[in-house]
Amino acid sequence: MKSRVCELLNIEYPIFQGAMARIADASLAAAVSEAGGLGIIAGGTAPVDYIRNEVRKVKEMTEKPFGVNIMLLSPNAEEIAKMVCEEGVKVVTTGAGTPGKYMSMWKEHGIKVIPVVPSVAIAKRMVRSGADAVVAEGTEAGGHVGELTTMALVPQVVDAVDVPVIAAGGIADGRGISAAFMLGAEGVQVGTRFLAAYECNIHQNYKQKVLNAKDIDTVVTGRSTGHPVRILKNKLARKYMELEAKNAPLDEIEQLGVGALARAVVEGDVDYGSVMAGQIAALVNKEQSCKEIIHEMFTEAEKLLNKEWR
């Protein structure tokens, strides 16, 4: 299943590991890259020197290509944008905003830039400003999400731009990969399934909550504040829904999110912490290595695309 994405990035399998904030560290990114995909370190809202150190660790752990994701709502986005140039990072993905102002700096440093986009208009804007590919992320994804579904978004972005499109949101097995390719995608980005990877250093309570999730267990909080985030339902999610239903002041709602991701990821508080995961969480039923995950997904996808139905 080689595609332009494999050629562009010099990777074996056209799969990106989603850059899950506070979660996607050197351990996860190196394991995915070593297995032939593109591992991505999440910048999230972390300080620049923490991310710089993760970059250096990945370089020690693998010779293969890897990326860094810059979450543009982070107060540290600008510093991280410069750091990737200093550290010779080859691939940058971006999320939760448009990276136009950094584009020329990254291109001068020979960095491949791949923004995550939630709509056709933003995809076109990113390509005009020099994006090498785009990740079209549907609202099925975990974390910060747009409105459109992967099924509707991907073919529309594919028709609108000439660069390769990587599909994200709701993909966790070979059926998802095959479907994405049928829609014209040339790669996939997978987050939720990698939460169950051995190399994913989240609290065991977080992992278990993902493994136990059912189809209807996620909800999008924060649509009213302009920061829509998909999480697994828990006491925190209910509190969000209560406040949003009674039109509470925005800062009161926003306050619920402060420190909530760390509470879940680090402390294992899956009641009052923010347990970000996608709608496909129910399909994730076992812990595996990143290598097993990638091999299983592509073996299944190749069978399906060769029409060996079931």
Q: Applying CB under 6 A, which residues contact ligand TUI?
A: 21, 44, 71, 73, 95-98, 116-118, 122, 137, 143-146, 227, 229, 276
Q: Which is nearer to ligand TUI, 202 or 301 (CB)?
A: 202
> Which residue, judged by CB position, is nearest to ligand TUI in the bound state?
143
- Name the minimum Å distance from CB 95 to ligand TUI: 3
Q: Which is nearer to ligand TUI, 153 or 304 (CB)?
A: 153
Q: Which is nearer to ligand TUI, 107 or 125 (CB)?
A: 125
Q: Which is nearer to ligand TUI, 145 or 281 (CB)?
A: 145
Q: Which is nearer to ligand TUI, 234 or 288 (CB)?
A: 234
- Name the minimum Å distance from CB 276 to ligand TUI: 6
- Name the minimum Å distance from CB 295 to ligand TUI: 26
- Name the minimum Å distance from CB 278 to ligand TUI: 10
- Name the minimum Å distance from CB 165 to ligand TUI: 14
- 3-state helix/strand/coil string of the chain: CCCHHHHHHCCCCCEEECCCCCCCCHHHHHHHHHCCCEEEEECCCCCHHHHHHHHHHHHHHCCCCEEEEEECCCCCHHHHHHHHHHCCCCEEEEECCCCHHHHHHHHHCCCEEEEEECCHHHHHHHHHCCCCCEEEECCCCCEECCCCCHHHHHHHHHHHCCCCEEEECCCCCHHHHHHHHHCCCCEEEECHHHHCECCCCCCHHHHHHHHHCCCCCEEEECHHHCCCEEEECCHHHHHHHHHHHCCCCHHHHHHHHCCHHHHHHCCCCCCCCCCECCHHHHHCCCCECHHHHHHHHHHHHHHHHCCCCC
